Amino acid sequence: MNSSPPSIRPLRILVVEDDDDHAELILHVLGEHHQGHRVERVSDGAAAIAYLDQNRGTRPELVLLDLNLPRVGGIDVLEFVKRDTQLRTIPVVVLTTSATDSDRERALAAHANSYVVKPSGFRAFEALLRDIGGYWGQWNLGA
């Protein structure tokens, strides 16, 4: 049995995040610790839907989705992705500050692949992002 981890596959990642500080940290950590990932960001739900609709040929292999977004909410973006036969296989990780049961239940009912609450501390958030990038690019073979 091979005990070494598989090599990290570079992924196309779409970050849907309206908070500039959170987005900057996400882009920095995924770029620094997981070189090769191509990370793009949109700052609201309507822009996310437009991006996904226009980039079907080069669709992202992972979406990191905040719930509380301007214009169109994160649940609506998630439902758009999971309803669309060409997009529904894209893993969507809800990455949010909301720890409420109702938000988590709504996201999981809409077929989120994961629901992760952003930690409040910088170092913990940085570690979480490294883990997310490693899991989806290295360990998860379904993406």
80: closest CA among 112, 57, 103?
Answer: 112
The pLDDT of residue 49: 98
pTM: 0.91
Tens-place pLDDT, residues 15-68:
999 999 999 999 988 877 666 788 999 999 999 999 999 998 899 999 999 999
For domain 12-137, the CATH architecture is 3-Layer(aba) Sandwich (3.40)
Domain boundaries, the chain: 12-137
User: What CA–CA distance (Å, rounded) separates 13 from 37?
Assistant: 7
Q: Which two tokens stand for residue 46?
A: 């309507």
User: What CA–CA distance (Å, rounded) separates 67 from 16?
Assistant: 9
